Amino acid sequence: MNPPLQINITQVQQEIDALALISENPPPVVTRVLFSAADLKARAQVKSLFRQAGLTVRDDGAGNIFARWPGKNGALPPVATGSHIDAIPNAGRYDGVVGVLGALEAIRALQRAGFEPARALELIVFAAEEPTRFGIGCLGSRLLAGALSLEQAAALRDGEGKSLNELRGAAGLGGHDLHQVRLAPQCYSAFVELHIEQGPLLERENLPIGIVESIAAPSTLRLQLTGVGGHAGGMLMPDRHDALLAGAEIALAVEQATLTSGSPDTVGTTGVFRIEPGAVNSVPCRAWLETDLRDTCLETRDAALKRIESSVAETCRRRGVEFKLERLNADPPAICDPRLVETIAGVCGELGLPFKRMVSRAYHDTLFMAQVCPATMIFIPCRGGFSHRPDVYSSPDQIQRGVEVLALALARLAANPQGKSFMRSDAAASGGSPFSGQSMCQ
C-alpha cells in the first residue's frame, strides 16, 4: 500500500493568513485590485512559495502566473489547477486564495508522497478574476480562452482612465506580448478549480464537498446618465431631469426583470451607483451604474437583459435624460466535463466523503477554461454561504478535505500516460487512486 497523503493544513492556514495581511485596507478587510501595490506584493509572495516547492514559475502578458511541476512525459498535455488572489474592496481572505494555496499544498502533498506525474501539473493564478479594475471579470482567463479580443482588451479603461497596457507596463509586464497569451485548444488535458462555494447549500446540508456540473451565464451592463443639474431650491419639480431618479428607476427595473424572468436562478445586482455633484442642495446631473445579471439558463438571462435595456431607453426618454449603455459582457454558461465530474465523484467515494452535484451561480475562471479543455470545480462549504465580505470563513477541516480531494484527483489525472486524461488511471480503474485513500492533517 502506498503511504497516505499528508495534508499540512497548518501550513496552508498560515499561508492564507499571511497573504490576507497584504491588502489595501487594514485587517480583517482584504482588498487587492489588479496591479495595485498590494496585488503586486501578493503576487510576489505566492511566486516565492511556488519556487520553494520546486515549481517552475513564469508570467504571461496579461499577468497570469503559471507554476509547473514537470511530468515524466513532456509530450503529454499537462493537468491544470488554480484560481485567483485578487480581491474586491472590503472582501475576505478565502475567495480564490483557497484554490491557489490549496492547489499548492495538493502538489506538495503529492511530492511528499513520492508521486511522479506522467503529465505535468500546472498551477495557474489568474489575473483579475474580479471586475474591480475594469468592470469586467475573469480578465486573465478570458484572454487565455480568446473570449476577449486583443482589440477589446486594448480599449479597457479603469476609473482613472488608465489602460490595461499602461497598468501592465507599470507592473513590469510590458515586455510580455499580449498576442502570446491565448492558449491553444486542448493545451491542457484537464482543469480543476478548488473554491469556496459562495452559497449556503453545502453548509445547510452538512456536506463537505460539492462537484460543479455547470456554471451560470454572467453579463454586465455599464450605464452613464446625463440629466440637468441645478439648485435644489430653484429648480421646480416639473422641470427636473434628475439623473439619480432615472438611475433609481432603472435599478428597480433590474430587480423586476429578474423577479419576472420565469427562472428561479435569474439574479440581478446594481452594484455600482455613483452620482455628481453629490451635494445635498444640488439636483444630480450625472449618474453611473453597473449591473450584474446572471442565470443558469441563457434564454431567460438574455430575455431579462433585453427587458432591462428597453427599460433604460423608456425611462430616459420619459425623464428627459440622455444615456450611454454598454454591454461589457454577455457570456454563455459552461457545462463541466461529465467524465471529469465522475473522476472527482470517484475520489470522494474512495475517501468516504459525501458530496453534492451542483450548479455554480457565481462565475469563475473555470467558465472560460472550459472553452480550452475539460474542466470542473470542487466546492467546499463557507459559513453562512457568505463571500465578498470580511467575515467569510471556511474552517481548516473544510479546506483540508477540499485539498485532499483535489490532490487525489490531480494524481488520477496526471498518472494516466495515455488516452483522455479525465479517464481513470490503471490504479483508479482497479478501485483506488495511486494512494491508499487515506489522508493525514498536520
Decide which of 84 and 416 is more confident: 84
CATH homologous superfamily, domain 5-216+333-441: Zn peptidases (3.40.630.10)
Distance between CA atoms of 142 and 149, rounded to whole angstroms?
9
Domain spans of the chain? 5-216+333-441, 218-330
Mean pLDDT of the chain: 93
Asked whether 382 and 394 are in contact (CB, 8 A), the reply is yes
Locate the DSSP E strands across 116-264.
121-126, 190-196, 209-215, 217-226, 230-231
Rounded to whole angstroms, how far apart are CA atoms 358 and 277? 45
Q: What is the pLDDT of residues 205-235, one digit of tens each?
A: 999 999 999 999 999 999 999 999 999 999 9
Residues making up the chain, counted from first to last: 442
Helix (H) or strand (E) holding 287: strand 286-295
Nearest to 363 by CA among 204, 223, 193: 193
Q: Please, which pLDDT band fits residue 2 given cuts at 50, 70 and 90? A: low
Phi-psi region of 292 (alpha: psi -120 to 50; beta: other; left: phi over 0): beta
Residue with cell 478565502: 94
pLDDT of 412 over the 50 cut: yes
Q: Per residue in 80-120, pLDDT tens?
A: 999 999 999 999 999 999 999 999 999 999 999 999 999 99
For residue 192, the tally of other CB atoms under 10 A from its CB is 30
pLDDT at 175: 87
Task: State pLDDT tens for residues 35-87.
Answer: 999 999 999 999 999 999 999 999 999 999 999 999 999 999 999 999 999 99
Residue 224, beta-bridge partner list: 288, 324
Closest CA to 156 of 131, 179, 125, 129: 131
Residues with Cβ < 8 Å from 312, sequence gap 6 or more?
A: 223, 250, 253, 323, 325
What pLDDT is stored for residue 417 in this prediction?
62
- pLDDT(433) > 60: no
> What is the C-alpha separation between 209 and 380, in angstroms, rounded?
5
Q: How confident is the model at residue 418 (pLDDT cuts 50, 70, 90)?
A: low
pTM of the model: 0.89
Confidence of residue 301 (pLDDT cuts 50, 70, 90): very high
**What is the per-residue pLDDT for 330?**
95
Element of type H or E holding 167? helix 164-170
CATH class of 218-330: alpha beta
- Mean pLDDT calculated for residue range 255-265: 96
Over residues 369-392, mean pLDDT: 97
What grid cell was written down for 309? 435595456
